[in-house]
Chain A
C-alpha cells in the first residue's frame, strides 16, 4: 500500500485584505521527493510554504502534513519541518553559534545538538563566534541552512535557498537537497532559477496568481506541452531552411532569425529531412535533438502556448494540468 503524501494541500484559499494569495491551490508531495515551486513574484509560493507549517491558516480548503492538520497539531508538524525563508531571519546581535543554539533549544535538542556538524556542512564553522550582523549575505544564507537541518527534519522547506550564494555554495546546497531526498527526506523548494530545478526536481509545480498552472515530473510536463520531438537545424544560409516547413514529417517550423526549430512526427524522419536539404544544396552546420528546458516549459505554459487540459487533480508523479 502506497504511503500517504507527506504534504497535501487541497483547494486551499487564502486572501490578504482582498488580495488572493492562494486560489484553490492543490498540491501534494510524496515522501523522499523534491518538489520545486516555480513562479513569478506574487505567485503564492511563500504563502504555500507558510501554510505547510501552519504559520498561516487557510480560509478554505484542507492542509495535511504528515497526516496532521498544522492548524491543530502545529507543534508536531513544525518540529519535523526545517525552514529557510527568503530572507535569512537571523538575529544580528547574536553570534552564529547563539543563533543555532537558540534553534536547538526551541527544537529541544539539548546539549548534544550537532551545531558544529551543521555549521561545517555549509562551511560556516569558522564564523560561528562572530556576530551575525557582520556576516555577508552568503554567510547568512549558509547559517540559515545550517539552522534548518540542525534538528534533522523530515520535511525541508526552502524559499530561494541559493539566493546570494556563490556557485560553489549553491552547488553544495543542491547537493544537500539531493542527499536529503535519497535519505527519505521530503524537500519543497521555491525558486526563480529554473536551471536549479532541472535535474533536481521530482515534481515541478508552476504557480501563478495563487494557482498551480501545472504540476508533474519535468519530463512528463515537457512531453505534455511538446508531445513530439523537436530538432534544431542550422545552416550556412539560414533562409534555405524555410523549405523544412513544407517537408513531410514536419509538424511545425520556427525560425526567429537564428537556427530553425522543427517539431517532427518522429526522429526517424530527420535523416530524410537532412537528405532533402542536402539534395537542395543546403550546407548544414548543425542538426541536434532539442531537450526543452524548464524555462521554456515555464514560459510556454505561462504564455498559454499549450492550453491546459481540464482534468481532475492527480497525485504527484502524474500530470496536473491547470484548472
Chain B
C-alpha cells in the first residue's frame, strides 16, 4: 500500500474522466508500462543505433556489400532521393540512409499497435473480470462515453510512446548518419506524414476491432489471444501501407491516410455499438 496524492474531482466531460482514470491505473502499474518502454526503446533506439553505427563505420566488407545490395531493390523514387541527398557518399552511407528513412518504417506501426492493442484488449473485459463493470453499468455515463474514454486510454499509450520513440529515433539517425550526408536530414516530409496522418487512423482501426473483442469475450486471456490473431492482418496491411507511404511520391501518404481515416471513423462508429451495459456486467447470453 502506498500513499498517493489527493486530487479534487473536476467537472469535465465523462469521456475524459473515463480515459483519465484508465490512464492513471496504467501509470500506477509499472509491471504494465515498463515492458512498453523497453519495447519502444529496443525498436526505436537500440536496434537502429547499433545497425546504423555498424553500417556507417564499416567499409568494404561483406556486411556493407549485402546491405548495399538492398539499395537495388528500392523503388526508383527512393534511389533518386538517396542520390540527391548524398551524391558522393559511399555505399555504406547510402545503405544506412536507406535503412533510416525507408526500411525502419515498420517500427512506426508495429510499436504503437503492439502497445495499444495490449492495453485495449484488457480495457473492457478487465472491468468485467475485476467486477468494476458493475459500477460502470450502474453509473450515469453512457455506453458511448465509456467506449470513447476506453478508446482514448488505449490509443494514448501506444501513440505517445511512438512519438517519443520517433523523436529519439530522429536524434539517433541524425547523430549517426547525418555527419556523412551533409547534416541533419531526419525526419523527412514523408515521415511527418506517416507519423501524424497515417499511423493514428491505422491505430484507430485496430483499436476499433480490439475494443469490440474486449467487449464480447469472456476473459482477458481470450481477448489477448483473439486480439493477436485478428490484428495481425491489420498490422501487416498497415506496415505495407506505411512503407508505401514513404516510398510513394507526392501525395501517396496523404491518400493512404485519408482512406484510413474514413475506415477508422466507420470502424469506431460500429465498435461503439459493441459496448452494452449487459456486457459490462458479464451476463450470460451477451458474451462469446
Q: What is the interface of chain A, defined by CB distance below 8 A to chain B?
A: 15-17, 19, 50, 53-57, 74-75, 78-79, 81, 83, 85, 87-95, 97-98, 101-111, 113, 115, 128-131, 133-134, 157
B284 within 8 A of A: yes
> Which residues of chain B are near A93, meaning CB under 8 Å?
25, 28-29
Do the beta carbons of B11 and A130 come within 8 Å of each other? no
CB-based closest 4 A-B pairs = A134-B1, A104-B9, A55-B137, A89-B135
CB-nearest residue of chain A to B7: A101
Give 14 pairs: A residue, B residue, CB < 8 Å, sorted on A. A16-B284, A55-B137, A89-B132, A91-B21, A91-B25, A91-B132, A93-B28, A93-B29, A97-B4, A98-B7, A102-B9, A103-B135, A105-B10, A113-B9
User: Is the Cβ of B17 less than 8 Å from the Cβ of A106?
Assistant: yes
Closest to A107 in B: B140
| Residue B91 CB within 8 A of the other chain | no
A56 close to B10 (CB less than 8 A): no
B9 / chain A contacts, CB cutoff of 8 Å: 101-102, 104-105, 109-111, 113, 115
Contacts of B12 in A (CB 8 A): 105
Complex Cα–Cα for A85 and B1 (A): 24
Docked Cα-Cα span, A101 to B3, in Å, equals 16
Q: Do B131 and A87 touch (CB < 8 A)?
A: yes
A56 touches B285 (CB 8 A): no
Contact B11 A111 (CB under 8 A): yes
Which chain A residues border B10 with CB–CB below 8 Å? Answer: 105, 110-111
- Given A16-B285, A56-B281, do A130 and B138 touch, yes or no (CB 8 Å)? no
Interface residues on B, range: 35 or more
Chain B, residue nearest A77 (CB): B140
Q: Is the CB of A103 within 8 A of B139?
A: yes
Q: Are the C-beta atoms of A102 and B17 separated by less than 8 Å? A: yes
Residues of chain B within 8 A (CB-CB) of A90 are 132, 135
Min CB–CB distance A269 → chain B (angstroms):
53
Interface of chain B, helix or strand or loop or mixed?
loop
User: In the complex, what residues of A have CB within 8 A of residue B137's CB?
Assistant: 50, 53, 55
Binding site for A on B (CB under 8 A): 1-4, 6-12, 14, 17-18, 21, 24-25, 28-29, 130-135, 137-142, 277-278, 280-281, 283-285
Docked-complex contact B138 and A111, CB < 8 angstroms: no
- Report whether B140 and A79 are in contact in the complex, using a CB–CB cutoff of 8 Å: yes
Task: Give chain A nearest CB distance to B288 CB in angstroms.
Answer: 12
On whether A106 and B281 interact (CB within 8 A), knowing A89-B131, A91-B21, the answer reads no
Instruction: Give the residue of A53, A108, A131 whose beta carbon is less than 8 angstroms from that of B4.
Output: A131
Cβ of B134: which chain A residues have Cβ within 8 Å of it? Answer: 55, 83, 85, 87, 89
- A17 / chain B contacts, CB cutoff of 8 Å: 284-285
Q: Besides the contacts A85-B131, A128-B6, A131-B4, what 16 more A-B pairs have beta carbons closer than 8 Å?
A: A15-B285, A17-B284, A50-B138, A53-B138, A55-B281, A83-B135, A87-B131, A89-B135, A91-B25, A98-B4, A98-B24, A105-B11, A106-B18, A106-B141, A130-B1, A134-B1
Take A75-B140, A105-B17 as given contacts and tell me if A56 and B283 are in contact as well, using a CB distance cutoff of 8 Å: yes
Q: Is the CB of B28 within 8 A of A78?
A: no
In contact, A94 and B24 (Cβ under 8 angstroms): yes
- Complex interface: chain A residues within 8 A of B14 (CB): 105-106, 108
A130 surroundings in chain B (CB, below 8 A): 1-3
Task: Please tell me if the beta carbons of B138 and A78 are within 8 angstroms of each other in the complex.
Answer: yes
- Residue of chain B at shortest CB distance from A54: B277
Per the bound structure, the CA–CA distance linking A83 and B135 in Å amounts to: 8
- Measured CB to CB, the nearest residue on chain A to B6 is A97
Indicate if the CB atoms of A129 and B11 lie closer than 8 Å.
Answer: no
Q: Write the nearest CB–CB distance from A277 to chain B, whole angstroms.
A: 57
Q: Separation in Å of the A242 CB from the closest CB of chain B? A: 53
Say whether B139 contacts A16, CB under 8 Å: no
CA of A196 to CA of B80 in the docked complex: distance in angstroms?
83
Residue of A nearest to B28 (CB): A93
Nearest B residue (CB) for A14: B283
Residues of A within 8 A of B24 (CB): 94, 98
| Complex: chain B residue closest to A108, CB-CB | B11
Residues of B within 8 A of A110 (CB): 9-11
A17–B123 alpha-carbon span in the complex (Å)? 25
A91 to B8, CA, bound (A): 17
Say how far B18's CB is from chain A's closest CB, in angstroms: 8
- Give Cα A107 to B138, complex, Å: 11
Q: A93-B25, A110-B9, A111-B9 are in contact. Are A50 and B281 (CB under 8 A)?
A: yes
Taken together as a complex, chains A and B put the C-alpha atoms of A41 and B272 apart, in Å, by 34
Expressed in whole angstroms, the Cα–Cα distance for A33 and B288 within the complex equals 40
- Out of B1, B2, B139, which one reaches A78, CB within 8 Å? B139
Q: Are B28 and A94 in contact (CB under 8 A)?
A: yes
Query: Per a CB cutoff under 8 Å, which of B132, B133, B142 touches A75?
Result: B142
Complexed CA–CA distance, A109 and B4 (Å): 22
A81 touches B138 (CB 8 A): yes
Q: Report yes or no: A55 in contact with B278, Cβ–Cβ below 8 A.
A: yes
Contacting pair A55 B7 (CB below 8 A): no
